[in-house]
Structure 1
Amino acid sequence: MSAPHDTSRSRLRDTRADPVVLDRRDGPWGEVVLRRRGDVLEIIANGCFLMDTSDGRSERRLVDAALAALGERPAPRLLIGGLGVGFSLAHAATQPRWGRITVVERERAVVDWHRAGPLSAISARALADPRTHLVEADLISYVNETSVTWDALCLDIDNGPGWTVTDDNRGLYTPAGLASCARVLRPGGVLAVWSAEPSPEFEGSLRNAGFQQVRTEEIPVARGVPDVVHLGVRPG
């Protein structure tokens, strides 16, 4: 794992409140912790802050940007990489245009926190939606092995292409990883990648991987650099 640094997901936290650990697990990729700070729930991995429930605008924008890029395609199929605190899934489930909604999460602890823990307050309705399918798997392995295709692939498993949660995740942003993402997208399908900061280098990687209409949408935050969504379209 790379060295921790501030990401916009932590900028709205009430740092005056002491965190209370609600659950701590050791998994295949290290330690994951769910803790409460005031009214906010936080996920910590191997001592590094990942995300919390203080906002969620950028996670929802990840889904909105992908849907808008698909135009009027009927009942598009959505694959969400990373359950996180559930904002992306919960938002997608409120949108009747989506057809099948698949979310891939590798951490059993995170799944448990959503199924029968504090995060169920965000995701329970979405998980009960008949369009939703939750897959417990490593996203990279899943994308490499599945024969299913989607219209949109929304990735939110790292703090960005330049700061991955684990070293294994770096492969997702390489030419081979992006080729795998393109393979599971239908012609004209959209790849949307959340990041805590803009990455011109990643825009170049998307173009080099054959994606078209590459662009970056910024989501303003309370302070600091904006969150962004990187977008690219698989050629038709």
Structure 2
Amino acid sequence: MKRFVLLDTAEIPGTQGALCLFEYGDDFVIKIAGGDGGQLMNTRMHGSEDALAAIPCKKIASRANARVLIGGLGMGFTLASALAHLRADAEVAVAELVPGVVGWNRGPLGAKSSYPLSDPRTRLIQGDVAEVLKSQNAAYDAIMLDVDNGPEGLTQKSNSWLYSAAGLHQCHRALRAGGMLAVWSSSADRKFTEMVSRAGFSVEPVQVYAHGNRGTRHTIWIAQKRA
């Protein structure tokens, strides 16, 4: 009988919270320490994390020297998906706030996504993706955000800036002409769709299955920068 085995706990910088990594049979699970037992992510269901990168990266795949930014390393599946769809001359920057998550991905957890941090196209930024974005102007061909459960921050209240009008306008500034923005969420949000549009994007919310072609579906906003 499978059971959850706690492997490690990692503090979330700037908060009193922490993330916990569990082994569950052949899979790994990340939960919030002291939470209700719900899973933030697991290695068995990552279809929407794959799609978060696959959909926008396919649209820019032919661009020479493409530069993309991923907010949130998670279990590495979004990073791996981006690398799979981009050319050999691309650079994929991934910003991860929690040092422990980086360590987990360099350890046994990383095998589930084929250790994308080891790819020479990967540039790891250990810090808050919001701080990275604030200093950028026309720097990226695509930005993919998966730092929380969606427009309503769960693990860190400061994440709400990324989903605010100011944060979305900064994403617009940080993108090159025709650049793509993709935002992951556990649920749909009509008001957020309208906010993305007002920030200067042509946007479509896409429903993606978490695993296979049935069961839980997540929302990914796919937005292209208007001139």
- Does TM-score exceed 0.5, indicating one fold? yes
Q: List per-residue Cα deviations over 1:161-210 (Å, max 9, x = no partner).
A: 13432111111111111111112111110100011112211110101111
Amino acid in structure 2 at the alignment position of 1:231: I
Q: Does 1:55 align with 2:45?
A: yes
**1:72 CA drift (Å):** 4.0
Runs of 4+ in 1 over 6 A off after TM superposition: none
Inter-partner Cα distance in structure 1 for 2:187 and 2:92: 27
Amino acid in structure 2 at the alignment position of 1:119: L
TM-score by length of 1: 0.84
| SS of match in other structure, 2:2 | coil
Aligned residues: 218
Report the counterpart of residue 177 of structure 1 in structure 2: 167
The percent identity for this pair of structures is 36
TM-score by length of 2: 0.88
Q: List per-residue Cα deviations over 1:209-234 (Å, max 9, x = no partner).
A: 1112x10111134424x212101111
Report the counterpart of residue 18 of structure 2 in structure 1: 31
The equivalent position to 1:113 in structure 2, one of 104, 118, 129, is: 104
Report the counterpart of residue 102 of structure 1 in structure 2: 93
- Structure 2 runs not aligned, ≥5 long: none
State whether residues 156 and 194 of structure 1, in contact with CA within 8 Å, keep that contact through their aligned partners in structure 2: yes
**1:148 CA drift (Å):** 7.0
**1:55 CA drift (Å):** 2.0
Q: Does 1:77 align with 2:67?
A: yes
Report the counterpart of residue 5 of structure 1 in structure 2: none
Amino acid in structure 2 at the alignment position of 1:23: D
Inter-partner Cα distance in structure 1 for 2:64 and 2:191: 33
- Structure 1 runs not aligned, ≥5 long: 1-15
Inter-partner Cα distance in structure 2 for 1:123 and 1:102: 17
Report the counterpart of residue 45 of structure 1 in structure 2: 32
Inter-partner Cα distance in structure 2 for 1:123 and 1:215: 28
Inter-partner Cα distance in structure 2 for 1:145 and 1:72: 26
State whether residues 137 and 175 of structure 2, in contact with CA within 8 Å, keep that contact through their aligned partners in structure 1: no
CA separation of 1:217 and 1:130: change in aligned 2, threshold 3 A: same
Q: List per-residue Cα deviations over 1:79-131 (Å, max 9, x = no partner).
A: 1110001101112222343711110000000011112x221213554222211
**1:132 CA drift (Å):** 0.7
What value does the CA root-mean-square deviation take over the aligned residues? 2.0
| SS of match in other structure, 1:154 | strand
